[in-house]
Structure formats: C-alpha cells, structure tokens
Structure 1
Amino acid sequence: MTITEFIKSDVKAVLQARGHLPYKLTLGAMSEHYKVSLTPVRHAVDELVDEGVIRRKDNGRLEAQPEVLKGVKLAPPKEGATERKLYEIIRQDVISRSLKQNTEYLREQATAEQYGAGRTVVRQIFSRLAGAGLIEHVPRCGWRVHPFSEQDMHDYLDIREMLELKALDLARSHFKDNELQNLLKANKPGKGRAKSELDFDLHDYWIERCGNRYISEFFKRYSPFYNTLFNCAVIDETVKREMAREHCDILKCLLDKNWRGARKALSQHIQDQREAVSRMIEYLNAKTTT
C-alpha cells in the first residue's frame, strides 16, 4: 500500500464510520494530519474526487460526500500503515547502500521529498535505523550509512563466540528453569509443512545476566548492525529449521544442567553462521536489485 492509497483508504473509512473528517478538508490540513508532504495528499484527493467521495466546489473548496459510501464494503486501513510502509522502504534502501559500500550521507529533507513524507517522520525513521546500527548521525553532514564488510562480519563472529561463551559461563547461576522453558517453547523446528518458529531472545538472556558490563557493552554496540542484516536474510525454511533446532539443543542442555553440552552447542551454532554469511550477502544483493 502506497502513502496515497493509505490516505484514500483512511478518508473513506472515517467518512463511512463518522460521516465527517476530524480535520479541515484542505491539502494543508490533511498533510499535517498524515505527517506527509502535499504531493501524496494531492494525488489522494484527486482520486477521491474522481470517485465522487470528495467534491470540488466552484470556488475550489473541497466538500466530503459521505453518502456515496453508504452500503459500500471497505477494508479499514491498519493504524500506522503509512509510517511502517515508509520505514521498510527506507530500511531496504539503507541495507542496499551498506552492501554496496555507498557511504554517501542521507539528508532528511531530500529523503522526505523523495518519498513524499514529512521531515519529522523521516527523522524518526532515521533514529530507529541508527538504533539498529545501520546508520549514524554526523552533525552538519547528515546520516552516514554503516558500510558492510564480509571480513568484518567474520571478525565479529570470532569475538562474539568468545564473549558469548564467557557470558554463558558467568550467567549460569542466574538461569531459571521456567524462563528457559519459555525460551524453548518460542523456538520450534518445523515438521512437514509446518513453519519453524525462531526466537533470538535466548542470546540476550545470558548476555543480560552475565554481570560483565564490558561483554554487555560489546554486544550493545556491535550486534544490532549485524543482527539486522543477518536476521532479514533468514527466510529459507531449511535455515530457519536448523537454527531453531540449534536453539533448542542449547536450551535443553541448560535445563539438564549440562554446561559442557550447552557451550558446545552454542559454539557450533555461532560457527554455523559463518557459512550463512555468503548466502546472506547473495540474498540481500538480489533483494535490493529486484
């Protein structure tokens, strides 16, 4: 659903439900209400006029025609669909730039104009992407994309394995069986046609409980970027099934107090991600060029 389509759908749904709109029927008021630029609003209004939902009077003013929608079955738009749609579009663009080593600065105004959105909305999206480690704000320059490097990914996995195994050892006395059982239930390898269920929270479980702030700060600083790139590439059911099985192996060992087995299973799980790095790059490059 495009921003224009969302605005049209929302106007129809509100008119049908209330018989009037909660804002003045002007381009400026609608732009402010939907937090977008005038362009998608203008397109939406033109199409609504063509459909008879809005009438353009002789003096140029707009007038809603809610009676046109009586008896019409509408699919109500999802709340926040505009921003979610825009977030996904911009995120994929940022990922593409990262893989292509394109570190050209992103600017809020230019991005807002490109997607027909409000600058405030774009700034909020950029802040979310910065929180995911994909971009960083450079004063007076804009937002810089974090360039991806395959060697950096392998180096990260080297350090990650050492520190996460240490975190697992340190957190051992803080594990609770009921919490481990909940994590186990959240990871289900698919059987037959059933899809696998995958939950990455188990890694944070022992990192948060290890009590070592240096380990915690390492993962807080570096893992969001790599996790974002890696997780969005895990779409193959075979990969999901294997990862879910490995998660379960780790958790079952922890529940059995088999610490050596848990360390071995975690180490193997992290090492297996090395093989997925090349597939991830191929997948993301293909996705961003289609």
Structure 2
Amino acid sequence: MSIVEYIKTDLENRLRTGRPLPQKMTLESVASLYQVSITPVRMAVNELIAEGLLLKGKNRRLTPVHSVGESAADLTTDSPAPPEPPKDLLEIVANDLVRLSLQGEQVQLREEATAEKYSVSRSAIRNVFHRLAGSGLLKHLPRRGWVVRPFRQEDMRAFLEVRELLELKALDAARNHLRDEDLKRMLDGNQYPASDSERPLIDNSLHAYMIEKAANPYVQDFFERHGRYYDILFQWEDEDREAAIETVRQHREILEALLLRDWRTARKALSWHIQCNHPILSKIVDRQRGDDANPVHAPTAAPVPTTEA
C-alpha cells in the first residue's frame, strides 16, 4: 500500500466510523496527522472529494459530507478495521541507503529532495537520518548535509576479525549464565522454510544474548559503537533466500551445541558463522582496492536524490 492509498483509506475509515479527525480539517493539519508532505495528502483528499466523502470550502477547509446533511458518509459500526500503515519509513530508507553504501562511493544526501521522494515531511526524513547516523550508516556534516558511509571490504574484514575475538570471549564468559529455555526459544526462532514459496525464519538474538550474559562493558561498548552499521548490512544480506537459509543452519548448529554444553563445537561453529556467513558482501567489489576478479556488484540502489560529496 502506497502512502497515498493509506491516507485515503484511513481517512475514509475515520469518516465512516467517527474515529478522530484533526479539529481544523485542512491539508496542512492532515499532513501533520500523518507526518507527511502536502503532496500525498492533496492526492488522497482529491479522491475523497471525487467520491463524495469530503467537501472543500472557499476557505480551504475540508468538511465531511455527513456533517452538512448528506448521507454518503453516514457513520457505521460495520466498516472494516483501520488500515495498516505502510512499511516503516526507517526500514525503507535504510534499505535504499545500504544499496548506495554498497556502491563504495561517498554520496551526499539533501533532506528536502529526499523527503519529496518518499512523500514525507522534511522533519520526518531528518528524524530518520539522525537515527541512521546513530547506526553509522550516515554521517552529518555541519552546513553540508548528510553523507552515506561507503562500504569497504577491508573495513568489514577488520570488523569481523575483532568481532570474532570478542564474541568468542563473550561466549567463554557467558557459559555459566546461559539458560536452556532461552537457547530453545532462539532455536525455535530459526526455522527452515516449509516450502519453496516460504522464507526461512531467522532469530539473530543469539549474538546480543551472549554479549549481555558476558556482562563485560567493554565488549558491549565495541558492538554498540561499531556493530550497528554492520547489523544493517547483514540484515540486508539475509533478504537473499539462500543466504538466509544458510544463516538458519549456522544458528541452529551453534545453539544445538550450546544446549549440549559442547563448548568446543559451539566455539568452532560461532567462529565459522562470523567469518564465513557473508556470501554476498564478501564478493562485492571494493572499488578503492580495484579488486575486479570475479566481481559481484552491489544491487542498484533505488533512486534517492543525491549530489556527489
């Protein structure tokens, strides 16, 4: 469902069921209600006017038809439930920016143009940018805007090297604090697809669980500072079905060994999982290194208004 379809459907539902509407029905107030720009609101409202559910007065105020004596929008309790909002804006923007990051080039973003592309307000896109900056995917340059962090193979290799050491250390420290019920829950959360049309079910919480149980603030600080960017990349990589199935297999191998308290097998499986479970990211060309042997290019990014930094 597009944002325009969502606004139209939700407004119609509000009109028919008596759910709250802005006190002053204007394009601006409706845009504020949905935290979007005027453009998608205008499109949705025009459709509702054409269908006889809204009237637009000379003062630009919008009036529900039933409030001026018409019957087209009589209140009813039989209307369907409110529609589900569109996919989370943060997730949509993050996925697009991951694809830009994987091109390996530094790209500058403009708030106004990006907000227009996603049909949201500038304040909404700024909030998303701040959250993504906290994850390391974006960097804010004073008076210059936002820059996408370029992906580098050498950076990922360095991160994985330290991550392996620290997660193995966390596993050793957490041994006496692991609970079977937690491990079984995570095992149940990693399931192979039942058919070719289904996706595997992935639960990635094992890593955070071990770090929490290790109770080492310096290990926790490393992952809080440096892990968020790669968490986004790894979640993107799991959109590939075969990569996701392999992730499930490796998670289950680690968890089954932990349930048996087979520490040697668990450490070996965890080490392999950290270093070798990135079949897509590990093949993306690092343009800075000029490595073009058997390149697998990053997917083309969805068009985001940008300027070269």
- Provide the TM-score with structure 1 as the length reference: 0.85
What displacement does 1:5 show? 2.0
> Number of residue pairs matched?
286
Q: Deviations over 1:57-94 (max 9, x none)?
A: 4665432224324589656322xx25x45334422332
Is the Cα–Cα contact under 8 Å of residues 108 and 142 in structure 1 kept in the other structure?
Answer: yes
For 1:7, the equivalent position in structure 2 comes to 7
What displacement does 1:214 show? 2.6
The equivalences for 1:77-156 within 5 A come to: 77-78=83-84, 81=85, 84-156=87-159
Question: Of the candidates 226, 233, 236, which is equivalent to residue 230 of structure 2?
Answer: 226
Measured in 1, the distance between the counterparts of 2:59 and 2:213 equals 67
Measured in 2, the distance between the counterparts of 1:5 and 1:103 equals 34
The equivalences for 1:1-290 within 5 A come to: 1-18=1-18, 21-57=21-57, 61-66=61-66, 67-69=71-73, 76-78=82-84, 81=85, 84-193=87-196, 195-278=199-282, 282=296, 284-286=298-300, 288=302
Query: 1:199 is paired with a residue of what secondary structure?
Result: coil
Query: 2:156 is paired with a residue of what secondary structure?
Result: helix
- Bigger helix share: 1
What displacement does 1:283 show? 7.9
For 2:292, the equivalent position in structure 1 comes to none
Which ranges of structure 1 fall in alignment gaps of 5 or more residues? none
Residues 39 and 237 from structure 1, CA distance in 2 versus in 1: closer, same or farther, beyond 3 angstroms?
Answer: closer
Residues 3 and 276 from structure 1, CA distance in 2 versus in 1: closer, same or farther, beyond 3 angstroms?
Answer: closer
Measured in 2, the distance between the counterparts of 1:92 and 1:25 equals 34
Measured in 1, the distance between the counterparts of 2:167 and 2:189 equals 20
Query: 1:68 is paired with a residue of what secondary structure?
Result: coil
Residues 89 and 195 from structure 1, CA distance in 2 versus in 1: closer, same or farther, beyond 3 angstroms?
Answer: closer
What displacement does 1:13 show? 0.5
Amino acid at match of 1:112: A
Amino acid at match of 1:25: M
Residues 59 and 23 from structure 1, CA distance in 2 versus in 1: closer, same or farther, beyond 3 angstroms?
Answer: closer
Root-mean-square deviation over aligned CA pairs = 2.8
Residues 288 and 184 from structure 1, CA distance in 2 versus in 1: closer, same or farther, beyond 3 angstroms?
Answer: same
Which ranges of structure 2 fall in alignment gaps of 5 or more residues? 286-295, 304-309
Measured in 1, the distance between the counterparts of 2:119 and 2:133 equals 21
- Provide the TM-score with structure 2 as the length reference: 0.80
Residues 59 and 152 from structure 1, CA distance in 2 versus in 1: closer, same or farther, beyond 3 angstroms?
Answer: closer
Amino acid at match of 1:131: G
What displacement does 1:38 show? 2.0
27-36 or 258-267, which deviates more: 27-36
Q: Deviations over 1:171-191 (max 9, x none)?
A: 212212222222222222335
Measured in 2, the distance between the counterparts of 1:166 and 1:85 equals 35
Query: 2:147 is paired with a residue of what secondary structure?
Result: strand
What displacement does 1:259 show? 0.9
Measured in 2, the distance between the counterparts of 1:131 and 1:138 equals 14
